[in-house]
Chains A and B, each alone.
Chain A
């Protein structure tokens, strides 16, 4: 069994400020970890993923996340946010042997204000 907890349901920040969206997980098997982003009235898009190797992973638009095995966390960070980053963000885990069986957190709504 696996579960995901996103610790903040809403995060309001001002433009150009740093942000951290927190995610904790639990699982009895080895997992892959993901962050997805959902813009209004759209499906989910992969933001970044941790499969193995370096614990710090980065996306092309400036987000990064660090896998911390001892704290079972996978927090998402960005040093300076833009208005266009306003969206809902989902943390997810999947068993590394089953691509179709993901468990998602409840989501964090990031609102970037001018």
Chain B
């Protein structure tokens, strides 16, 4: 199993550009989440999904869109990038039914918005 994969690893955008961060998991997990990590602020939940076709907002959803058309994929879209979105983004997945408490994290995408 590859676990949770994220692409790209690094990305530089100009203000106003749009892009999609990709996340995929091959563990057949129902739950998937997107977090951003900023220095001294831990991880903050952006959006999450409890299954294909179902998404919900987390703590900091503004400026981001998500969709979940398959169990495996959970892309995060930046509609119009802003410098405040410079951060490291982590995708995570976990079982739903029979959840044993663990989230599995991808390696992260480091995004810089100029």
Residues of B within 8 A of A4 (CB): 42
Taken together as a complex, chains A and B put the C-alpha atoms of A60 and B35 apart, in Å, by 27
Kindly state the interface size class of chain A when it binds its partner: 20 to 34
Are B31 and A104 within 8 A (Cβ)? no
Give CA–CA (A9, B42) in the complex, Å: 10
Q: Top 8 nearest A-B pairs by Cβ distance?
A: A43-B105, A100-B31, A100-B48, A104-B42, A99-B94, A104-B43, A106-B42, A99-B99
Per-position binary interface string of chain A over residues 73-107, scored 1 when its CB falls under 8 Å from any chain B CB and 0 otherwise: 00000000000000000101010001111111111
Query: B interface vs A, CB < 8 Å?
Result: 4, 30-33, 35, 40-45, 48-50, 58-59, 90, 92, 94-96, 99-103, 105-108
B37 smallest CB distance to A (angstroms)? 9
Chain A residues, Cβ within 8 Å of B101: 32, 34, 49, 51, 94, 99
Q: Which of B42, B58, B106 contacts A90 (CB 8 A)?
A: B42
Q: What are some 27 contacts across the A-B interface (CB < 8 A)?
A: A4-B42, A6-B42, A9-B40, A34-B101, A43-B106, A44-B90, A44-B92, A44-B103, A45-B105, A46-B102, A51-B100, A90-B42, A90-B43, A92-B43, A98-B50, A99-B99, A99-B103, A100-B31, A100-B32, A100-B92, A100-B94, A101-B33, A103-B45, A103-B59, A104-B42, A105-B42, A107-B40
